[in-house]
Structure formats: structure tokens, C-alpha cells
Structure 1
Amino acid sequence: MDQASKAIRLRDLPAEIRLATARPTTTWISLISCAGVALMVLGVVSLILGPDRNYYTEAHGFDFVQFFQVFPGRLLCIGIVLTGVGSALDSQVMSRYRAALQDELDAAIDIAEDALPEGCMLTVAQKTEHVYLISLIRQQAPAAAERDMEPVPAGEQ
């Protein structure tokens, strides 16, 4: 049942809805984070296992391995920065995706909070990438939940 053209009302529940908002690809962000983690690991390993002194000639300079042995702290700092940047970018992209998805869901569902029957709540469950199932479920009574959580005195156990 595709409800893309009209908003879902209480009488239509349970209903399936197809949304157009697609999950963004964050492959390049993951690559930035992975490069940062790799540099952090390399910096820590070279910091712990690296030699106390490095010898090199001015004519040839550092070789590839000596470069990592000489600058472990800088590698670690660059790795931390890249991992933080990747995490921040991923968080920003995902929050924009969640906001767009919530806006699209709000536009597709035309049910006021006070129109719901007492003791019921509206649930949205994802079936596939773009299809969501919207239904009503009964809430557990708060008194019953509190009764289950009350501690039993030591003498009654």
C-alpha cells in the first residue's frame, strides 16, 4: 500500500509508507576516519617501539621507515585530527539526513497527538530502505511498570 500521494490518517492505520529520502553515502568520510586511525596506530607503535636515536646522512635524508620513527608525535596528532574531522563530518551528514527524514515523515502522517486513543502510541518501523510501517500500539500502564520496579524488603525475599 503506497501512501506517497496522501497523508496517513488514524483510520488508515496500520499503513505502509514509501519515503523518497535516501541514506547518504559516507564512504569518503569513512576513508578520512580510517586514515586517521591508521596514522594514530602508526604513531603510537613508532613512539613505543621506535629507536632512541636515528642516524642519517644529509645527502640522502630520512628513509621511509626513519620518517615514521622520527615524527611519531606528529603522526599521532595528525591521526587524532583526521579522526575527529571524520567523526564531525559523519555526525553532521547523519543529523541532516535524520532531520530530512523526520520532516518527510511529519508531512506524510496527518495524525494529531491528542487524536490518538488513550493508552496507545504511534510507532514507525522501517521495513526496507524506503518503506516504513506506521501502526498503533498499546502502552504499558505506568502504575504496572512502577509496581514491577519497587524494591522488595530484605525480610520478604
Structure 2
Amino acid sequence: MEYSTRPDRKVLGAAGEYTARLMIEEAGLRVLECNWRDGRRGELDIIALDDTDSAQAWTVIVEVRTRGGRGKGSALASVDPRKVARLRALTGAWCRQRGHLGSRVRIDVVALTLNARALRDWPTAPGSGVDLRTRGAQTLWLRGVQ
């Protein structure tokens, strides 16, 4: 396998979304959609169904934030009130388009932060799913972001 010295932002982001999907599925949620776009308004990373409690099923919108190194702070630090407002607007658009108005919906954030050492010797094979937890990523899953 070939290795690069450091992944670019797109590759790191794709690895973050892959890792988040694994985490979500391991927790018993079912992924419904990935990378849903509302034109130029933005994208919802992952839409999942949480029916682990059959009495209270939720549609879960998951924002995945991935950061490499600590120069810009943690991945969670990149979720500010403006980002949450954008996620709410996109969630409303998705619900209208998919006929989910009035259903239980929550917004979660999965934040993955890697140190500089974890970014060395990055596999360059296209489409290779990299679970960032195996590279020492600090993971945080916040449920029900307000």
C-alpha cells in the first residue's frame, strides 16, 4: 500500500464521515442517507434512524467535524451558533422534501480530532475506508445539539 505524508482536507473529511458511520451503526442506528445537498445552501453529512427505543424513534441528522492537528483547535470547536442555525435550516429543508414534517428529529455532532502524529503515513489508495479511531482520533458524539 502506498502512503502520503498527510491527507488533504477532502480525504480527511471522508475518513471522518466513514468513522462516524461506523460509530452510528455500532450504536444500533440505521443510516438512511449520506451527503444530502440542498443546492448551494449546504449539505447534511449523515441522516440516520434511531429506533433503539421503539416507543420514541428519532430521525437523527449527524454533522461530522474532523480536524487534524491542534493548530485550529478541536473539531468540536468548529461548531458555532451560526453552524447550528445552518444545520437547523437544512434539517427543515430535508424534512419538507422527505415528508418528515412533524416527526421527531434531533441534530447530533460527531467530532473527530487527530494529532499531527496520526496524520503521518496516510494510505493513499482511493476509496480506502480509514477508521480514524485506529489512528488515535479523539472522538466525541454530542446528541441533541441546541
Whether TM-score is above 0.5 comes out as: no
Question: Comparing both structures, which one devotes a greater share of its residues to helix?
Answer: 1
> Shorter-chain TM-score: which interval?
under 0.3
Question: Comparing both structures, which one devotes a greater share of its residues to strand?
Answer: 2
TM-score, structure 2 normalization: 0.22
TM-score, structure 1 normalization: 0.21
Larger relative contact order (Cα-Cα within 8 Å, sequence gap ≥ 6): 1
